[in-house]
Structure 1
Amino acid sequence: MNVVWLICFVAMLNLGACGQAASDQNEPDLEHESLLVGTEEEVNEEDEKEVTITLGAIGDILLHERVYELAETENGYDFLPMLSGVEPLLKAPDFLMANQESMPGGVEIGLSTYPSFNSPQEIVSNLQSLGVQMVIGANNHTLDRGVKAIERALTFYDDIGMDYVGVYRDAEDRDRDRMVEIEDVKIGVLAYTYGTNGIPIPDGHQDVVALIDPERIEEDVKRLRSQVDVMVVHMHWGAEYEREPNEQQRKLAQQLSKAGVDIIFGHHPHVLQPIDVIHQDSGHETTVFYSLGNFLSGQTYDYTDIGGVATIQVTKTANGELHIHSPNIEPTLVIREENGYVVYPFEEADRTAISGSTFAEVREHTLRYLTP
């Protein structure tokens, strides 16, 4: 009986040990689990961190003959000597756009100057090498040399991987949404012009350039707005050589703001106009750069040698909130030198403009609407 009891006791011990072993196998490895949890938290923190990006734009690239003839080389045209002084300004934004006002149809169809522009294509590849990632093609000179020049320019853009907006091959091209994503911030871009210097849009090419049509703009903005975080619109508007926005600009800016546009970059006056912020009752705000002036041109009227690199910052918080802030224009100055029209950071140029303006005066002019 004692032997039987002893056998049973030993069996019970063995069963307990097996049960414990089985239980241990099913228990989680707490040390390993804590490491996994820590890693997941680190990943989540990385995914949800706050990011700030800088969007940028430059004004009119309008190449008169007196500009491009000084850029001619044995192998074509080279504008880099005219632009290299502002390379740090151009490469600073995370996304930079440029208003290519004179259509770069290239030498094969004959270069031309005012009043019907056609420019060397090298200007675009040179700008690209300095940081420009999208060109704006909606302006009053878009149709100067007809559809042929436009098609040649767009083919060149495709060849070098330069995106464009405001000028299109056809309806399908126009319907292609222009969106970029930087640091998890999605940006949509549209562009429009008030007209084409009286040149009618050719039959069968009704979508070749986007004209300012408030109803069409509202439809375009509505379609794109739902897909992006930040809505940007370029407007070719206003009166040439006027340093203040006119009533039409202000009215259109209000309409764009109500439609949901976040940032407006203006072109056409060829001189800098102030920055403003429009506040809607809904809480929506729109930052308006009424005119970015000339970035590179051969114009000699007062203030037309002054342009700038416009920048504005977009902050996306960890919970997805967006804040658009810190608008600025860093003034630039075009100086006619022996070997070309050279663009300088105004502050570093140590020279006054044609109009006699100083750096301090230009800064005050562009920022004065923002000063309380």
Structure 2
Amino acid sequence: MLRRLPTNPAEVFRASARTRAAVRCATWLRLWDRPLQDVATDLEEMRFIDMAYWFYKSARPIIRAEKNVSEVLFLRDKSAVKLPEKFRSVASMTLSASGDLIQADGLECSKDFLFENVASALFDADISFANYESPVAEEEVVRKAIGDGRTAMMCCSFAQYAALTGHRGKHFTVLNAANNHILDLGTEGVEATRRAMTQTGVIDIGTPRHPGEYGRANILARNQIKIGFISATFGLNANQLTGGETFRVHAAKLLSRHVPTDLALLKKQIEDCKKQGCDFVIASIHWGYEFEFFPRYRQIETAHSLIEEGVDLILGHHPHVIQPLEYYRTKRDPDRIGVIAYSLGSLTWGWYTAPHLVLSMVLNIKLSKGSKNGARRTYIESIKPIPVFRSIFCDGGTPLMRLEKLEDHLDECASSPPAARIGRMKEYVDLVSGKPDKQILSRGHAAAAGESSARTVIGTLAAGACREPAVWCR
């Protein structure tokens, strides 16, 4: 039987008649072309309008930024990232960073195939990082939890875990588990996930083993450079940790609509890094607004605050689309450029095929430790963003997933059937890089005179995001 793989989550999850009507109205009137204000991103705080907005943008991603956001984000580009003059380097190490690893039904069939074309970018670094978002359980538990696949739960079997986290004997070094899905299978799922990571030699962050680890950083050293990892998630999908279990996940009110941003947990971990003499601090933050290509101004203020507190690199995840990299020169050290990746997108997720959902970003970063004027410092020496995308196709009726480097397929824009899809992904990359090209600007949706080109409205992209060539399986 011929089966069409879904383009986006709105085609899979059941929405009420009222929600569908609201989405149709918003689409017709273009009500949500800009980010909706006073909107919840934490499931625990969501109202009807928040859910309707979620369904809307899952198919029609938000490609405009809040006022003043682009001007701040694109103040500097990656050319600002370099070692300062008179800096004497004595050691260096490399880091790869990527976004969400999320289950898909049958993903185990893609083991040792999924990362085939991006393995060097991910696994050849001294430390490789990703956000792991599918608690592990026995296969029958997973089947019962997911049911017919029309659920927001993101749990997976041990076979799927193996496909998601390694390639031909190599594994991610560090996986963040502090995210909104970590409690989808309760505390038993947290424990099983940690056991799987321990068995495969992966360092898990964000899920303390006992109360004494809560608010502590994870420390590891490579090539004489001591790295401190800190972590937090904005929410837990309305799941609750009660009584003596509250230590199990690093969760904080980072984007609540009701209370100010709470940075106490992250600041406590930063202080732990300082006490343990870390050379470099990396913050893994699960936050943001799904299907929006720009962070909110509130996030920018939070990120800058964390950098000034002592964080050197922020790795963001959750929105399922890529967002800009910001190169922020710190006040605490005029030579230091703090890099903020607001969202690296999702490396894997379901069998969704829309360009905004299959596109993600891998960062290859080189750190250098040394001294300047007698002071010991560790800086980012270089950074290379690598856009990648999920290629989804069928082999004998079995869906397969493989990650590809976008740069390896740009020639297809003029010569093959996937031309529109590849071209659209390239336009998204240009959008979050602050340089939408002339073709985009000519589509009749340019921003008002005097507005930054990085905030240009790419209306054709938004309107057509859910009309991509379908992927079919027999």
Question: Match of 1:54, as an amino acid?
Answer: T
| Residue equivalent to 2:327 | 277
Q: Secondary structure at the match of 1:151?
A: helix
Q: CA deviation at 1:154?
A: 1.0
Query: Is 1:238–1:248's contact at 8 Å kept on the other side of the alignment?
Result: no
1:1-372 alignment, distance < 5 Å: 50-65=90-105, 69-72=106-109, 79-107=111-139, 109-111=141-143, 112=146, 114-126=151-163, 127-128=165-166, 129-174=169-214, 177-212=217-252, 213-226=262-275, 227-283=277-333, 284-298=336-350, 299-317=352-370, 320-339=376-395, 340-350=400-410, 357=423, 360-368=426-434
Q: Secondary structure at the match of 1:297?
A: coil
Residues in 1 aligned to 2:281 and 2:389: alpha-carbon distance in whole angstroms: 29
Deviations 1:157-216 (A, max 9, x none): 222221100123332344664111111111010111100111122432101111134012
Question: Match of 1:325, as an amino acid?
Answer: E
Q: Secondary structure at the match of 1:324?
A: strand
Residues in 1 aligned to 2:215 and 2:203: alpha-carbon distance in whole angstroms: 14
| Residue equivalent to 2:453 | none
Deviations 1:246-297 (A, max 9, x none): 1232122022112110000000010111100222323254210110001011
Identity among equivalent pairs (%): 23
| Residue equivalent to 1:33 | none
Structure 2 residues not aligned, in runs of 5+: 1-87, 253-261, 413-417, 436-474
Question: Match of 1:210, as an amino acid?
Answer: H
Which deviates more, 197-206 or 169-178? 169-178
Residues in 2 aligned to 1:354 and 1:305: alpha-carbon distance in whole angstroms: 14
Deviations 1:310-369 (A, max 9, x none): 122211136643221323320111011114122111122455588554565354344439
Residues in 2 aligned to 1:328 and 1:244: alpha-carbon distance in whole angstroms: 20
Q: Which has the larger radius of gyration?
A: 1
Query: Is 1:308–1:331's contact at 8 Å kept on the other side of the alignment?
Result: yes
Question: Match of 2:427, as an amino acid?
Answer: E
Q: Residues 103 and 357 from structure 1, CA distance in 2 versus in 1: closer, same or farther, beyond 3 angstroms?
A: farther
Q: CA RMSD in A?
A: 2.6
Residues in 1 aligned to 2:319 and 2:424: alpha-carbon distance in whole angstroms: 20
Question: Match of 2:394, as an amino acid?
Answer: E
Residues in 1 aligned to 2:140 and 2:89: alpha-carbon distance in whole angstroms: 51
Q: Residues 357 and 234 from structure 1, CA distance in 2 versus in 1: closer, same or farther, beyond 3 angstroms?
A: farther
Q: Secondary structure at the match of 1:304?
A: helix
Residues in 2 aligned to 1:162 and 1:52: alpha-carbon distance in whole angstroms: 22
Q: Secondary structure at the match of 1:316?
A: strand
Deviations 1:11-64 (A, max 9, x none): xxxxxxxxxxxxxxxxxxxxxxxxxxxxxxxxxxxxx96332221211111113
Query: Is 2:231–2:266's contact at 8 Å kept on the other side of the alignment?
Result: no
The total of aligned residue pairs comes to 316
Query: Is 1:266–1:292's contact at 8 Å kept on the other side of the alignment?
Result: yes
Query: Is 1:51–1:183's contact at 8 Å kept on the other side of the alignment?
Result: yes
Q: Residues 187 and 281 from structure 1, CA distance in 2 versus in 1: closer, same or farther, beyond 3 angstroms?
A: same
Query: Is 2:215–2:268's contact at 8 Å kept on the other side of the alignment?
Result: no
Q: Residues 135 and 277 from structure 1, CA distance in 2 versus in 1: closer, same or farther, beyond 3 angstroms?
A: same
Q: Give the TM-score normalised by structure 1.
A: 0.77
Residues in 2 aligned to 1:62 and 1:365: alpha-carbon distance in whole angstroms: 25
Structure 1 residues not aligned, in runs of 5+: 1-47, 73-77
Residues in 2 aligned to 1:331 and 1:290: alpha-carbon distance in whole angstroms: 15
Residues in 1 aligned to 2:193 and 2:419: alpha-carbon distance in whole angstroms: 32
Question: Match of 1:117, as an amino acid?
Answer: M
Query: Is 2:104–2:349's contact at 8 Å kept on the other side of the alignment?
Result: yes
The answer to which structure has the higher strand fraction is: 1
Q: Secondary structure at the match of 1:204?
A: helix
Q: CA deviation at 1:142?
A: 1.0
Question: Match of 1:219, as an amino acid?
Answer: K
Q: Residues 259 and 308 from structure 1, CA distance in 2 versus in 1: closer, same or farther, beyond 3 angstroms?
A: same
Q: Secondary structure at the match of 1:172?
A: helix
Residues in 2 aligned to 1:262 and 1:231: alpha-carbon distance in whole angstroms: 5
Q: Residues 217 and 346 from structure 1, CA distance in 2 versus in 1: closer, same or farther, beyond 3 angstroms?
A: same
Residues in 1 aligned to 2:419 and 2:314: alpha-carbon distance in whole angstroms: 26
Q: Give the TM-score normalised by structure 2.
A: 0.61
Q: Residues 366 and 88 from structure 1, CA distance in 2 versus in 1: closer, same or farther, beyond 3 angstroms?
A: farther
Query: Is 1:90–1:131's contact at 8 Å kept on the other side of the alignment?
Result: no
Which deviates more, 48-57 or 190-199? 48-57
Residues in 2 aligned to 1:235 and 1:228: alpha-carbon distance in whole angstroms: 19
Q: Secondary structure at the match of 1:205?
A: helix
Query: Is 2:132–2:175's contact at 8 Å kept on the other side of the alignment?
Result: yes
Query: Is 1:60–1:295's contact at 8 Å kept on the other side of the alignment?
Result: yes
Residues in 1 aligned to 2:273 and 2:311: alpha-carbon distance in whole angstroms: 10
Q: Secondary structure at the match of 1:81?
A: coil
Q: Secondary structure at the match of 2:392?
A: strand
Which deviates more, 134-143 or 197-206? 197-206
User: After TM superposition, what 4+ stretches of structure 1 lie above 6 angstroms from structure 2?
Assistant: none
